């Protein structure tokens, strides 16, 4: 019989749902606190999402940006990790319902992050690919490489065009970085790998509904980014929204239609809260209303941190803090300190966001960065981008492998990991059902 098997102690139990930036920083902050920490995640690894786009474009191995959660916490004795999917909460009993059984809590922290928002458009949801998980990034890589292989089997230009039109929707960092990486693939890799491919038919579009890309940065950075992308051959269309899509024809708000079979969607994210929360605290975008201690409104011991929480205590951010790693990390850390202080009779301190800046890479030798009042662009910003990402990547081995990949790619103009991992035809064994398989197929 499946049961969580978490030992009962006389310490209060903090249950954290989600091993993203918020969850792991909270768990670390509780290292020496007199609590029992239970960390739950549906995966057994922490994912470094900022580099997902490089996995999707065959620049990095999937394993390089994932770090096993058990590895992170192997020296933290007060922490128990369980791979689990959360179903809901019974607040009156202080019990969390999961697929591995009920788990009692004294403090519950929801740190489930966000997922792709298709804004209710079912057809787009069915045909477009989001990019929030490792498996999605690998799917994009597989899918894109398959498009190139399949183009070689076609003679009719009208069949080839939609396969070679790659459309990124959403001009945030994800869309910008994906578009830039595709432009580099076209320039450096495809002519060598696919000399027979009619590359002049390949187009890369970046479509953004608002007037500029990277809207969270300054107008100068936005302009430089758009120029940089145009320079390497991306068609940037701002002030343009997606109206409709049927799996082939993408209708835009300016009346244009692009034929594409490769629609990559990063136009928005939303929260996926757990059920059982008080009425009215879950907003239409799935975020949960919290006070400036990250406490969920209407509860006394349930918190929400990171993307999933919406806190309105800063006039600079009237719609809540941006859904970025920085906020999650800082909220996780502070909630940890608050819980610790509270147990010693101290008061909770309100959260104050310290904006450390933001950056996005456009392509080889080219990025934009803004921090501490400085604005960088070009080569220097690109170096800064690499250093910041390497430093934040979890684990020495991952840092090293990523560095080697970048180093290698810089000097050889090559990308190592352009392989299509697919399930074999007949010889795949059906493994027995597992509690960790919500999907009937084998997991991978």
Rule CB under 8 A: which of 149-188 touch a second copy? 149-150, 152-156
Out of 11, 188, 193, 371, the residue judged to bind a second copy by CB under 8 A: 193
Out of 133, 210, 326, 365, the residue judged to bind a second copy by CB under 8 A: 133
Among candidate residues 41, 10, 9, the one with its CA nearest the CA of residue 110:
41
Q: Find the shortest distance in angstroms from Cβ 388 to a second copy.
A: 22
Which positions from 392 through 411 interact with a second copy, judged by CB under 8 A?
A: 395-398, 400-401, 404-405, 408
Q: Find the shortest distance in angstroms from Cβ 201 to a second copy.
A: 15
Out of 12, 88, 101, 233, the residue judged to bind a second copy by CB under 8 A: 101
Out of 11, 28, 43, 198, the residue judged to bind a second copy by CB under 8 A: 43
Instruction: Identify which of residues 150 and 157 has a Cβ nearer to a second copy in the complex.
Output: 150
Instruction: Please answer whether residues 40 and 135 qualify as being in contact, where contact means their C-beta atoms are separated by less than 8 angstroms.
Output: no
Out of 54, 105, 110, 127, the residue judged to bind a second copy by CB under 8 A: 127
Q: Find the shortest distance in angstroms from Cβ 158 to a second copy.
A: 12
Q: Assign 3-state DSSP to the chain and report helix, strand, coil percentages, each to 5.
A: 35, 25, 45
Out of 135, 374, 380, 387, the residue judged to bind a second copy by CB under 8 A: 135
Out of 146, 231, 319, 349, the residue judged to bind a second copy by CB under 8 A: 146
Rule CB under 8 A: is residue 322 a binding residue for a second copy? no
Q: Where are the beta strands (DSSP E) in 119-170?
A: 165-169
Out of 123, 380, 387, 419, the residue judged to bind a second copy by CB under 8 A: 419
Out of 128, 232, 250, 324, the residue judged to bind a second copy by CB under 8 A: 128
CA distance 174 to 342: 38
Rule CB under 8 A: is residue 383 a binding residue for a second copy? no
Q: Find the shortest distance in angstroms from Cβ 173 to a second copy.
A: 20
Which positions from 227 through 286 interact with a second copy, judged by CB under 8 A?
A: 247, 261
With 0-12 CB in 10 A as exposed, 13-18 as middle and 19+ as buried, what is 282? buried
Instruction: Please answer whether residues 209 and 92 qualify as being in contact, where contact means their C-beta atoms are separated by less than 8 angstroms.
Output: no
Taking CB under 8 A as the binding criterion, the range among 56-64, 216-224, 284-292, 317-325 that sits at the site for a second copy is 56-64
Instruction: Identify which of residues 178 and 384 has a Cβ nearer to a second copy in the complex.
Output: 178
Which positions from 80 through 99 interact with a second copy, judged by CB under 8 A?
A: 80, 82-83, 85
User: What count of residues does the chain have?
Assistant: 444
Rule CB under 8 A: is residue 309 a binding residue for a second copy? no
Out of 36, 54, 64, 358, the residue judged to bind a second copy by CB under 8 A: 64
Site size toward a second copy, by CB under 8 A: 95
Which positions from 334 through 373 interact with a second copy, judged by CB under 8 A?
A: none
Write each residue from 3 to 32 as x if it is in contact with a second copy (CB under 8 A), else as -, in one continuous string.
xxx---------------------------
Contacts 24+ apart (CB under 8 A), 389-398: 389/50, 389/51, 392/48, 392/50, 392/325, 393/48, 393/51, 393/65, 394/46, 394/48, 394/67, 394/72, 395/67, 395/71, 398/48, 398/64, 398/65, 398/67
Taking CB under 8 A as the binding criterion, the range among 124-132, 275-283, 362-370, 384-392 that sits at the site for a second copy is 124-132
With 0-12 CB in 10 A as exposed, 13-18 as middle and 19+ as buried, what is 434? exposed
Residue 374, Cα to own-chain centre: how many angstroms? 26
Taking CB under 8 A as the binding criterion, the range among 21-29, 225-233, 288-296, 429-437 that sits at the site for a second copy is 429-437
CA distance 249 to 252: 10
Rule CB under 8 A: is residue 145 a binding residue for a second copy? yes
Among candidate residues 49, 19, 392, the one with its CA nearest the CA of residue 28:
19
Instruction: Please answer whether residues 240 and 253 qualify as being in contact, where contact means their C-beta atoms are separated by less than 8 angstroms.
Output: yes
Strands across the sheet containing 366-371: 358-363, 366-371, 374-378
Instruction: Identify which of residues 43 and 210 has a Cβ nearer to a second copy in the complex.
Output: 43
Among candidate residues 363, 391, 389, 367, the one with its CA nearest the CA of residue 378:
367
Among candidate residues 433, 431, 437, the one with its CA nearest the CA of residue 99:
437
CA distance 253 to 256: 7
């Amino acid at each position: 019989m499946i049961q969580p098997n978490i030992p009962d102690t006389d310490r209060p139990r903090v249950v954290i749902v989600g091993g993203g930036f918020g969850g792991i920083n909270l768990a670390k902050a509780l290292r020496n606190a007199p609590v029992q920490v239970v960390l739950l995640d549906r995966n057994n690894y922490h994912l470094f999402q900022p580099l997902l786009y490089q996995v999707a474009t065959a620049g990095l191995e999937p394993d390089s940006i994932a770090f096993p959660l058990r590895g992170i916490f192997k020296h933290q004795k007060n922490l128990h990790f369980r791979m689990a999917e959360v179903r809901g909460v019974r607040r009156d009993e202080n019990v969390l319902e999961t697929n591995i059984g009920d788990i009692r809590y004294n403090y519950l922290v929801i740190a489930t992050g966000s997922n792709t928002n298709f804004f209710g458009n079912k057809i787009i949801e069915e045909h477009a690919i989001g990019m929030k998980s490792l498996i999605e990034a690998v799917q994009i890589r597989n899918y894109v490489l398959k498009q190139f292989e399949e183009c070689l089997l076609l003679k009719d230009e009208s069949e080839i065009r939609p396969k070679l039109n790659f459309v990124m929707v959403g001009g945030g960092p994800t869309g910008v970085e994906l578009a830039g990486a595709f432009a580099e693939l076209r320039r450096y890799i495809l002519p060598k790998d696919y000399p027979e491919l009619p590359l002049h038919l390949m187009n890369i579009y970046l479509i953004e509904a608002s007037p500029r890309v990277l809207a969270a940065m300054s107008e100068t950075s936005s302009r430089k980014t758009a120029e940089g992308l145009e320079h390497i051959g991306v068609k940037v269309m701002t002030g343009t929204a997606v109206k409709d899509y049927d799996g082939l024809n993408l209708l835009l708000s300016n009346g244009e239609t692009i034929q594409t079979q490769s629609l990559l969607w990063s136009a928005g994210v939303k929260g996926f809260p757990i059920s059982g929360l008080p009425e009215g605290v879950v907003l239409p975008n799935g975020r949960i209303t919290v006070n400036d201690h990250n406490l969920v409104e209407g509860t006394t011991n349930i918190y929400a941190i990171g993307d999933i929480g919406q806190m309105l205590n800063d006039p600079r951010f009237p719609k809540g803090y941006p859904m970025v790693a920085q906020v999650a990390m800082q909220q996780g850390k502070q909630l940890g300190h608050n819980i610790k202080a509270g147990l010693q009779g101290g008061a909770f301190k309100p959260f104050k966001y310290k904006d450390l800046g933001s950056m996005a890479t456009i392509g080889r030798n080219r990025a934009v960065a803004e921090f501490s009042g400085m604005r960088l662009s070009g080569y220097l910003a690109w170096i800064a981008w690499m250093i910041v990402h390497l430093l934040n990547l979890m684990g020495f081995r991952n840092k090293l492998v990523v560095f080697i990949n970048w180093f290698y790619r810089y000097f050889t103009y090559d990308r190592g990991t352009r392989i299509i991992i697919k399930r074999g035809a007949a010889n795949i064994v059906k493994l027995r059902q597992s509690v960790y398989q919500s999907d009937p197929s084998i997991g991978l």
